[in-house]
Structure 1
Amino acid sequence: MFKTNFQVIFAVANNLALSTIKSTVSVVSIWTDFKEITKMGLSISVVFSSIAGYFLGAETISFTTLLLLAIGGYFMVGASNAYNQIIEKDLDALMDRTKNRPIPAGRMSVNTAFVIAVLFTLAGIATLYVINPKTAMYGAISIFIYTCMYTPLKTKTPIAVFIGAIPGAIPFMLGWVAARGEFGIEPGTLFAIQFFWQFPHFWAIGWFLHEDYKKGGFFMLPTGKPDKGTAVQIIMYTIWTLIASIIPVFGFTGDLKLSIVGAIVVFLLGLIMIYYALQLFKLRTPKAAKQLMLSSVIYITLLQIVFVADKFLS
């Protein structure tokens, strides 16, 4: 009798434990899929750019505005990424780097992803509108261009990268517009910096993922292949990125300023990126492309930190 009761108790406890484990695994899985459908890492980096732009434009820091900008910015980028994965679900299933995303892997339905995208769009526009209408307008433009122009063009023409560079460059200037409520030479310069930066960054990614992109039918490189022509264009846009980055030191960009010390630091960072672009031209290997991609991420991150630090320390 005692043995039978013990077995019953053990079985109940075991079932409860299994149920708890399954519940925990389910919650973890949902959270992981949410991070993937909104590309949390990318979204956070975009929010970082917006916050940097805000600090550059703000005459007095409002932590309420900062919080709204961070939340609204995440919603907007998350929405764009969700729409993108809905549209490209069949193509994602063909590529190694994307086949395990929530929709092609069957862990999330298209309807669920669409609900997330719509809710994020509405919440993002509403949140940014609280800051000021122009911030919401540029956020909405970013979603539209990314979803309705860049995404469908990726399988049609390499020009898609030029189109995609527009929403990719908006976050840095968006922060300034959130601070000042208007567009001018200052946010225009921030836009130009991040616009030119997009090309060496994404072409480097397109280079080392060229074979995988081919499986999905994406045209990511300007010449259609990882060759000298593409490498030359990468070098050209890297140089343009550096030129745009140091323009504020000459006093042509209104309230957006950069000290001589700050310009020297940015220039040296740019030379590192140019070095890796030249290495890619010389070696033309996936490894060299990865090194350029990493140097580009480091460059834009440190540039934004230098610009903000220069403003408050000069």
Structure 2
Amino acid sequence: YENMYKTPCSRLSGNLRCLATGFVGVVGVSLKQLIQNVPHCNQTARCLIQLHKRDPSRWLTYQHLNFLKRQYVTKNNSELHQRAAQKAAPCPTSVEERDDNGVERRVQRIPTLDPVLTDNVSSSENITIHVETDEAKEARLDRQWKQLKVDGAQLPDIYAKLAKIKLTALVVTSAAAGYAMAPVPFDPVIFVVASLGTCLASCSANSINQYFEGPFDSNMNRTKNRPLVRGQISPLHAVSFALACGVPGVALLTLAVNPLTGFLGGLNIFLYTCCYTPLKRHSIANTWVGALVGAIPPVMGWTAATGCLEPGALLMGGFLYCWQFPHFNALSWNLREDYSRGGYRMMSVTHPGMCKRVALRHSLGLIGLSTVAPALGVTTWTFPVISLPINLYISYLAFVFYRRGDRSSARKLFFCSLWHLPMLLLLALTCKKPRGGPEEAAAPALAL
């Protein structure tokens, strides 16, 4: 360091050169002592780090947090995945060492093996080797790979669960209500054919839905007893049942009723299986898509009777659309743990505040739709008056659910929605506005 700082100073002259040389010499000696102490400090710090690395028991890992060992849901790429935090397997640690030449090397430490105690083991002990016979091997393989056997006596019950028979009954009922509210004479043959085609289309959509969601239904208490989860039926059998219902159902609606109704039936299957089902694991928009799917059946009933889309058909679909939000949001509120385990993105799981607001907003929307019905010529002005009490009651329960957000208020709102929809449709049917002369006015009465 002295030579480095003296070289530029040699260009100076006289006393200035001597003064600069002496000052630089003092600074050089101080820097030299500081640099000599730096390696010693670095070596001490490196030794402390290596001492800490040699004792993995002192490391703070995620396994020290007990709650991470339980089931939980993580968000990754806008998806909810079900994972379990597993205990990390012991792995060899790597330590940085420095040799005599000052070159750092990364040395991989191999965990020590526990010594094997052989004092109590006698060398003369006979070792018995069990040879598996062919019969035992065949029995073991038979237990592992058992052929799926379907009992013919259980098939009706399996098909009913696969088709979600209660949900299908609700779909057919709403389609029948749309048919009955249409301003045309009642045709029993078209009514039966349209109801049958709607039933088959709903069975097909529900079966395909269970086929796609089979791996996730096993994580939910509400769906763990479905046929595909329990292995009562094979996936190929389920898809075959869906095709056997969907193709004749859409064909029946198209050929025997009218092409518009057949198109709506096929569109509903597509929306339910290809849009709503995959969206359940990606976005909360699935609730709105599902409400649209539920709103199409009464429109299908109206088009089956009239053969065209009219404001009355959209009104009937609007009733089903608004009703589904207080119904489903209240249902999903008490099933949040189930939906979390299944990895579904529901409003009740990811946006609880929005879930309560949407339920209240659409409950109030039922009052508005009931008021619009006579203005569109679908019902008389008596309908908004006599339907106001039940609409106010479900809106009140939705408001309580919005304020409290507990299980009790959600349960009351859900059970109210079960009787509210049939009551609302029945009141609309009794207040249906007659069309034309007395002959056409008497036709709906004869149909009842």
Query: Does TM-score exceed 0.5, indicating one fold?
Result: yes
Q: Which whole-Å CA distance do the structure 1 matches of 2:383 and 2:362 have between them? A: 21
- What's the counterpart of residue 247 of structure 2? 122
- What's the counterpart of residue 205 of structure 2? 80
- CA apart distance, 1:280: 1.1
Aligned mate of 1:298, from 419, 425, 429: 419
Matched, 1:36 2:161: yes
Distance change (3 Å), C-alpha of 1:222 and 1:184: farther
Distance change (3 Å), C-alpha of 1:92 and 1:286: same
Over aligned residues, Cα RMSD in angstroms? 1.7
Q: Higher relative CO (CA 8 A, sep ≥ 6), structure 1 or 2?
A: 1
- What's the counterpart of residue 45 of structure 1? 170
Q: Which whole-Å CA distance do the structure 2 matches of 1:81 and 1:166 have between them? A: 16
Greater Cα shift, 267-276 or 81-90: 267-276
Aligned mate of 2:224, from 99, 102, 127: 99
The one-letter amino acid paired with 1:306 is L
Greater Cα shift, 236-245 or 267-276: 236-245
- Contact between 2:340 and 2:349, CA under 8 Å: does it hold in 1? no
Aligned mate of 1:109, from 211, 215, 234: 234
- CA apart distance, 1:89: 0.3
Greater Cα shift, 59-68 or 216-225: 216-225
TM-score, normalized by length of structure 2?
0.61
The one-letter amino acid paired with 1:43 is T
SS at match of 2:308: coil
Aligned mate of 2:337, from 211, 218, 228: 211
- Contact between 1:210 and 1:225, CA under 8 Å: does it hold in 2? no
Aligned mate of 2:320, from 194, 201, 221: 194
Greater Cα shift, 289-298 or 30-39: 289-298
Structure (1/2) with the larger helix percentage:
1
- Contact between 2:332 and 2:348, CA under 8 Å: does it hold in 1? no
- CA apart distance, 1:87: 0.3
Matched, 1:57 2:178: no
- Contact between 1:208 and 1:287, CA under 8 Å: does it hold in 2? no
Q: How many residues align?
A: 284
Matched, 1:68 2:193: yes
Aligned mate of 1:137, from 240, 263, 266: 263
- CA apart distance, 1:260: 2.6
- Contact between 1:43 and 1:74, CA under 8 Å: does it hold in 2? yes
Runs (5+) with no aligned partner, structure 1: 1-24
SS at match of 2:177: helix
Deviations 1:39-84 (A, max 9, x none): 1111011101111110111521111011111111110111110000
SS at match of 1:88: helix
- What's the counterpart of residue 390 of structure 2? 269
Runs (5+) with no aligned partner, structure 2: 1-149, 433-443
Higher gyration radius (CA): 2
Aligned mate of 1:154, from 255, 280, 283: 280
Deviations 1:106-130 (A, max 9, x none): 0011001000111111111111111
Q: Which whole-Å CA distance do the structure 2 matches of 1:286 and 1:27 have between them? A: 41
